[in-house]
């Protein structure tokens, strides 16, 4: 089996979904906020900034639409960044540093880390540029006099509104990043414990789970059986029809097994065309019923939709847990019983 690893495409897809979700929500919040700012500036006769906020609302409408149709993400991101920086610089220049509009620039660097920019170097350059822009704004505009003089209470209200808005957005971003980390952790766990072709447990995972089940059953004196399955003449299928068809056969068999076993049973791709089932609270005779049901169902199933004449069978071996059994000994007996079935003509179930 190929070694498990996180594919860059999958990682980028997850980050892309996060960025799209982020930008949709940012566009809505920003548009509503700028509507409020436009009304505020109009009331206080700062008509130029009122008009600028109307333009900002339209720009965020474009950003939202681009994200809805899921096209031109980079352009939408650049448009949003340009609006935030340009609006902040203009507002600070016209009504003063104390208005707090410069604070929105602090939100850009963390969002850049989940932007569509693929190159880490380009991201770092963009983040560094944004940080330098903020520092330069602080240096050049903090002590400057405002072009428009606004009442002190209004300016104070603006400052605290912008401060609270930025803090809320930071909390939102932190939560979003946390969910991304959890999603990646879940993906890592799936990749480490499941077979990529079938979605069943892989060999390492089933061994860990089976050993835990064995210990639980020993404490309760319950019965437990394992079932080793092998698809008959699978090499011939690969040789005659190709590995793609072989993969379809394996996936179909895995789906069939998943459908027929109980919720508490465990199924794994043991390797190649071999599968291992762990059947808790099950005797060998009860496991025989499960095995025969799988074997009979497989004979009635068209495993490859485009090949109705392709018949696939399986041979299985069953072993029941003994008092002194280790996991390896339990599986070895089932494996031996399965190979006895192979020697006896295939397409049958043997109990060890």
DSSP single-letter state for residue 115: S
DSSP single-letter state for residue 217: H
DSSP single-letter state for residue 196: T
Strand-pair category, 349-351 with 266-271: unpaired
Q: Order the strands of the 274-280 sheet from edge to edge.
A: 266-271, 274-280, 224-231, 314-320, 349-351
Strand-pair category, 349-351 with 314-320: parallel
Task: Tell me, yes or no, if 323 is annotated catalytic.
Answer: no
Q: Return the closest-CA partner of residue 167 out of 113, 114, 106.
A: 106
CA distance 119 to 121: 5
Read out DSSP for 260-306? HS-TT-EEEEEETTEEEEEEET--HHHHHHHHHHHHHHHHHS-SSTT
Report CA Rg, the chain.
Answer: 32
Q: Return the closest-CA partner of residue 313 out of 226, 199, 234, 228.
A: 234
What is the H or E stretch that residue 306 is in? none
Q: Which of 45, 273, 274, 286 is catalytic?
A: 273
**Phi, psi dihedrals of residue 269, rounded to the nearest 5°:** -85, 110
**Phi, psi dihedrals of residue 316, rounded to the nearest 5°:** -130, 150
CA distance 67 to 255: 36
64 Cβ neighbours under 8 A, 6+ residues apart: 24, 27, 28, 31
Q: Return the closest-CA partner of residue 208 out of 230, 235, 189.
A: 189
CA distance 314 to 293: 12
E-assigned strands of 240-300?
266-271, 274-280
CA distance 124 to 102: 21
**Which residues have a catalytic role annotated?**
273
């Amino acid at each position: 089996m190929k070694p498990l690893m996180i594919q860059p495409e999958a990682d980028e897809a997850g980050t892309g979904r996060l960025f799209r979700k982020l930008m949709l929500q940012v566009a809505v919040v920003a548009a509503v906020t700028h509507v409020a700012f436009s009304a505020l500036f109009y009331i206080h006769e700062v008509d130029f900034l009122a008009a600028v906020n109307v333009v900002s609302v339209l720009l965020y409408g474009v950003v939202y639409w681009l994200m809805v149709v899921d096209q031109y993400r980079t352009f939408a991101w650049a448009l949003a960044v340009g609006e935030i920086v340009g609006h902040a610089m203009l507002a600070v220049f016209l009504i003063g540093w104390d208005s707090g509009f410069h604070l929105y620039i602090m939100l850009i660097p963390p969002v850049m880390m989940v932007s569509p920019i693929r190159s880490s170097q380009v991201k770092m350059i963009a983040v560094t540029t944004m940080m330098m822009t903020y520092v330069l704004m602080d240096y050049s505009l903090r002590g400057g006099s405002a072009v428009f003089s606004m009442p002190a209470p209004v300016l104070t209200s603006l400052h605290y509104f912008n401060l609270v808005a930025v803090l809320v957005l930071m909390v939102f971003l932190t939560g979003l990043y946390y969910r991304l980390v959890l999603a990646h952790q879940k993906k890592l766990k799936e990749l480490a414990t499941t077979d990529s072709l079938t979605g069943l447990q892989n060999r390492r995972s089933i061994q860990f789970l089976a050993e835990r089940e064995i210990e639980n059953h020993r404490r309760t004196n319950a019965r437990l059986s394992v079932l080793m399955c092998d698809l008959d003449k699978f090499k011939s299928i690969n040789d005659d029809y190709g590995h793609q068809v072989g993969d379809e056969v394996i996936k179909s068999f895995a789906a069939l097994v998943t459908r027929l076993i109980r919720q508490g049973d465990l199924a794994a791709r043991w390797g190649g065309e071999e599968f291992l089932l762990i059947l808790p609270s099950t005797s060998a005779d009860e496991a025989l019923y499960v095995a025969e049901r799988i074997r009979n169902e497989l004979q009635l199933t068209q495993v490859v939709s485009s090949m109705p004449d392709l018949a696939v069978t399986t041979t299985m071996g069953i072993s029941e847990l003994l008092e002194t059994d280790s996991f390896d000994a339990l599986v070895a007996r089932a494996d031996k019983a399965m190979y006895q079935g192979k020697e006896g003509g295939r397409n049958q179930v043997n109990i060890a």
